[in-house]
Chain A
Amino acid sequence: MTSRQAAGTPRQGGAAAVPPRRRGSRRWKAADTDRLLPAWLSRTALVVIALVVLVPVGYMVLLSVTPNAQVALGDVSLSGFRNYVAMWSAAPLAAGLVHTLIIAGVAAAISVLLGLLAAYPLTRMRFAGRRAFLYSLLGSQTVPQPTLLLPLFATFSFIQTTIGTHLIGSYPPIIFTYMTFGLPLSAWLLVAYLRTIPRELEEAGLVDGCSRARALRRIVLPIALPAVVVAFVFAFLVGWNDLLFASVLTNNSTQTLAVVMQGFDNTQANATLPLYGDLMAAAVVSALPVVVLYLVFQRYLIRGLSAGSMTGM
């Protein structure tokens, strides 16, 4: 690296000429302007925190390839790869996975659709209550989720007895719930992104005689597709991660992966040979898609949310 970094001592007093840096240049070079902490503190903190993060994650991965009998004794080994095969029969994981994909996927798709529909008038029109609408979407996030559980359950029960169909435990209530939980983030993301799409594009279409709705579908949607994809991913994660609502609103034929995992753990607690190796393997499979999706898309999420702001990320 540069000789300045090799020297290692912080510069005390005495101005140094700082070379001009091109804004947004990708290949970053360390410079004195970035040093906010003494090097020893910086490095120690980085290493310690990295270790603290790695230990449980590493332990989970190691246990997932350790045979169950050895896990019960507290040992770790690498001879238990068959856990990844046995786990599918140890608990209804495949069913849980399928249900989660359906429930979270459908909920996310509708969430993004409604979010886009809402984002369009919010960015293209001025009307009374526009700001209030946006802020109330935000405000909804301060409502504690557990609080919503009982009244939702009561509402669905009420509809169930009024209409006469079996509602709780089927797909619609849980999909509707997750869809709404993902709505504020979808809407905000699409609002931020739509704002950066020039209005001239739709106005060209409007001049040619198509309606606003048509302009949204034919012109804006294709351009907003990146934001739509990102919004879909994060709305999807809402359904994948939730346990509280799934444990109440699903039954044995619609249980999500989270519910299956919790049930799996519950049954192992008092077993003679707890299948903790299988459990950890299932945990890795439950977490891996989320981690991958998140790491890939989080950059776009931040970029999308700050689109058009002056922060220049």
Chain B
Amino acid sequence: MSMSTRSRTRSRGRRQSPAPAPAAADGQQAGGAAAAAAGPRWIAAVPILRRGADRPLWMLIPCAVAMAIVVLIPVILVVALSLLNLNIGTLHEWLAAPFIGIRNYVSAFTQKSVIGTSAGNAILLSVGFSLLTTIVITPVGVLAAIAVHRPFRGRAVVRALYLVPYIIPTFVTALVARIMFLNHYGLVDKALAALHIASVNTYWLLGSHSFWAMTLTEMWAAWPFIYLMTLAGLQSVPREQYEAAVLDGAAPAQTLRRVVLPQLSGILKLAVVLSTLYHLGNFTLAYVMFPSPPPQSVDVLPIDMYYRAFSTYDFGVASAIAVITIVIFLIPVYSYLRLTRMSD
């Protein structure tokens, strides 16, 4: 999938770097957004090697082999697996498993998993979860970054504090959230009851409210990512532009709107896309926060896939869901590439 988009972008001679440091694994790395500025300019400026000097291209091989084995081949393999009839016995001999075409995909949408829902439901939940979270955290992250931009006493402490939700491991966040959302004794129920908003017996870890418990927790944990990216973007606006705006008599709101926000739009687009992708693939939060098997309202795609594979051993159907997940992932990626190409 990344191959076709890559060749397309290369042939159109895109000069703009698509992404800085990846939000990898648990998304626990800082957005190295400024590397986007370090993109094609330096890539092109590599001097030609002296004639006769040795060219150790072999150094690339271990990296390439590892990436091929763990990323490239599995993507191709999962498509193949999704077309086979697999269970726990035939998985390790999958080469000999019977070919059943798209029956796994049909089963995914028609048969309920052990959790009790179908793949269609899982798609809706995943997309809703991801979009809701991103829509809420983007203004919060941008606001926080702009508020922190101006130096004040204790700013370093605040800046460190703001990172904490993002850098706490997801499984820890999920555990704390689980305790907070406990029925009757948890902090959330007690607070809501004290404010007379809801009953002290509201269930957050079962039933339909569980979706909101999960989404709120994700919002709490994920907003610093947008904040970090926006901070990086703010710092790449040259000082002279701020000063020029003030010299020209701009009020703060005008400076913000006319000078700063337009320059942030590039990095914000990237942040939004990366954020959406991350929430779509978040398995740990739902897995740790809720009992096993989880309520139907949190049956997002990664959870659906995991339970079909390791609870009922329908590896073929689970692979089909994995392929569906790739397709869903492609949508934000594709939109981002089109958006940035259009504004070039």
CA distance A42 to B3 in the complex (A): 45
Tell me if A15 and B248 are in contact (CB < 8 A): yes
Residue A172 CB within 8 A of the other chain: no
CA distance A311 to B152 in the complex (A): 22
Whether A154 contacts B315 in the complex (CB less than 8 A), given A34-B151, A131-B43, A192-B38, comes out as yes
Residue B128 CB within 8 A of the other chain: no
Tell me if B63 and A306 are in contact (CB < 8 A): no
Residue A280 CB within 8 A of the other chain: yes
Residue A120 CB within 8 A of the other chain: yes
Measured as residues with beta carbon below 8 angstroms from the partner, the interface class of chain A is: 35 or more
Residue A283 CB within 8 A of the other chain: yes
Query: Which B residue's beta carbon lies closest to that of A27?
Result: B151
CA distance A150 to B325 in the complex (A): 13
Residue B149 CB within 8 A of the other chain: yes
User: Number of B residues contacting the other chain (C-beta, 8 Å)?
Assistant: 136
Tell me if A276 and B78 are in contact (CB < 8 A): no
CA distance A134 to B2 in the complex (A): 12
Tell me if A125 and B288 are in contact (CB < 8 A): no
Residue B333 CB within 8 A of the other chain: yes
CA distance A280 to B95 in the complex (A): 46
Tell me if A60 and B176 are in contact (CB < 8 A): yes
Residues of A within 8 A of B272 (CB): none
Residue B342 CB within 8 A of the other chain: no
Residue B132 CB within 8 A of the other chain: no
Question: Contact partner of B163 among A121, A125, A294, A307, CB < 8 A?
Answer: A294
Tell me if B35 and A188 are in contact (CB < 8 A): yes
Tell me if B59 and A150 are in contact (CB < 8 A): no
Residue B25 CB within 8 A of the other chain: yes
Residues of A within 8 A of B1 (CB): 143
14 A-B pairs with CB atoms under 8 Å apart are A13-B249, A33-B242, A45-B147, A130-B46, A138-B22, A139-B2, A238-B25, A241-B169, A242-B26, A244-B306, A280-B179, A301-B29, A302-B34, A311-B34
Show the binding face of A for B, using Cβ within 8 Å: 10-16, 18, 21, 23, 28-30, 32-38, 41-43, 45-46, 49-50, 52-57, 59-60, 63, 71-74, 114-115, 117-118, 120-127, 130-155, 157-158, 160-161, 176-177, 179-185, 187-189, 192, 195, 199, 206, 211-213, 216, 234, 237-238, 240-244, 247-248, 258, 261-262, 265-266, 269, 276, 279-280, 283, 286-287, 290-291, 294-295, 298, 301-302, 304-311, 313
